[in-house]
Amino acid sequence: MKYTTLGRKSGLRVSELALGTGNFGTGWGHGAEPAEAKKIFDMYAEAGGNFIDTANVYQSGQSEKLLAEFIASDRDHFVIATKYTNGTDSSARVSEKGNNRKNMMRAVDESLKRLKTDHIDLFWTHISDGMTPMEEIMRGFDDLVSSGKILYAGLSNFPAWRIARADMMAELRGFAPIVAIQTEYSLAERTAERELIPMAEALGLAITAWSPLGGGFLTGKYREASADNRLSKLGMLVHTEKTEKDTLLINTIFDIAKEANATATHIAIAWLLHKASHSNTALIPILGSRTAEQLNTTLGALEVTLSESQMSQLDAVSAVSLGVPHEQISGSAKNLAAGNQVRVYLGSA
């Protein structure tokens, strides 16, 4: 496995694929038993992976506790990322939720205890609560970095304008910077290309992509009558074949998989890795395997190289409208605004 720095605002070196551990444990009524989780972890580590993504809420805290056991003998090798916002379980009260400083400080201490470590490498705000000021979040992150409880901070599932505000605030006030964002991104969900990905590339923020297989949709497994019952359990986290466009996408993935002597899983991940190789910042898919067999299958994508023709086919069948104002300021409209004669030397300004 190859390595990359976590964006242009850090020198932290992480593997090109991250291991998501939302399936480590059975606190949600589904997931991997400890022995299976250990197999997944070991397989990922043996492949060269060092970037582990978890959260306080995953499996009601079981994910962090299992990780504590798995990393104990080699803690410094692994880059551990965890998140706060949600309460650890359904019994969480109002003060144990949200992006506010009170919950942030409580959550980081509890995650440190569950992970049995003295620091968290990357601490995420899990999702925007729509009410906590960015000033409060950023000052809290800065204090945690200064105290040594966390090394880096990131924003997961935030709108681009709030992330850009946080980035500028850190620069102007001397706060510890946001180094990465986390968002859903795959052949099944490309709307991050409207604002989030261009913003991250412009600001040098790493992009970690959750649900790179669309919750399993891109593998084609939900076409089978005996589809995994996680489809009903995970709800919005799983895409389904609802439209002609969805059907065309899955058919194209299978056609290209046949050409490449690969699987649909390989093609979906290889598409992301190809995007990463052409990005000016880190783009890192998060693999959320539930079994060692699934992870073994997914890792095979590292051996697949898609041709430009195959990438073009996949891009075409999965394309999304960029909407306003992006479609208005591209092509002829942009040339008209520039007077049709002006050469621009500062990128896409």
What CATH number is associated with residue 167?
A: 3.20.20.100
Residue with the larger pLDDT of the pair 330 and 27: 27
Question: Is 42 part of any domain?
Answer: yes
| pLDDT score for 328 | 81
Least confident of 36-45, 161-170, 322-331, 334-343: 334-343
Q: Does 177 sit behind a cis peptide bond, omega within 30 degrees of 0 on the bond before it? A: no
Average pLDDT of the segment spanning 187-203: 97
In a domain, 282, yes or no: yes
Give the chain's domain count.
1
Torsion of CA 343, 345, 348, 349, to 10 degrees: -90
pLDDT over 80 at 57, yes or no? yes
Please check whether residue 30 lies inside any domain of the structure: yes
Asked if residue 150 belongs to a domain, the reply is yes
Beta bridge partners of 292: none
Whether residue 15 lies inside any domain: the answer is: yes
User: Does 332 fall in a domain?
Assistant: no
When pLDDT is cut at 50, 70 and 90, the band that residue 265 belongs to is: very high
Q: Report the C-alpha gap between 108 and 7 in whole angstroms.
A: 23
Structure tokens at 169: 């605030």
Domain that holds residue 123: 3-319
Helix (H) or strand (E) holding 274: helix 264-277
For residue range 229-244, list pLDDT tens digits in order: 555 555 556 788 889 9
State the SS3 of 9-69.
Answer: CCCCEEECCEEECCCEECCCCCCECHHHHHHHHHHHHHCCCCEEECCCCHHHHHHHHHHHH
Segment 9-20 mean pLDDT = 98
Q: Which member of 58, 84, 152, 185 is catalytic?
A: 58
Residue 185 catalytic?
no
Q: What pLDDT shows up at residue 235?
A: 55
Q: Report how far residue 255's alpha carbon sits from residue 185's, in angstroms, rounded to the nearest whole number.
A: 22
Structure tokens at 25: 């444990």
- Which H or E element spans position 84? strand 79-84
Give residue 262's Cα distance to chain centre.
24
- Region 196-204: mean pLDDT is 98
Does residue 335 lie within any of the structural domains? Answer: no
Contacts of 248 (CB under 8 A, 6+ apart): 317
Give the pLDDT band (50/70/90) at residue 347: very low
pTM of the model as a whole? 0.92
Tokens of 307: 């041709």
Q: Tell me if 151 is assigned to some domain.
A: yes
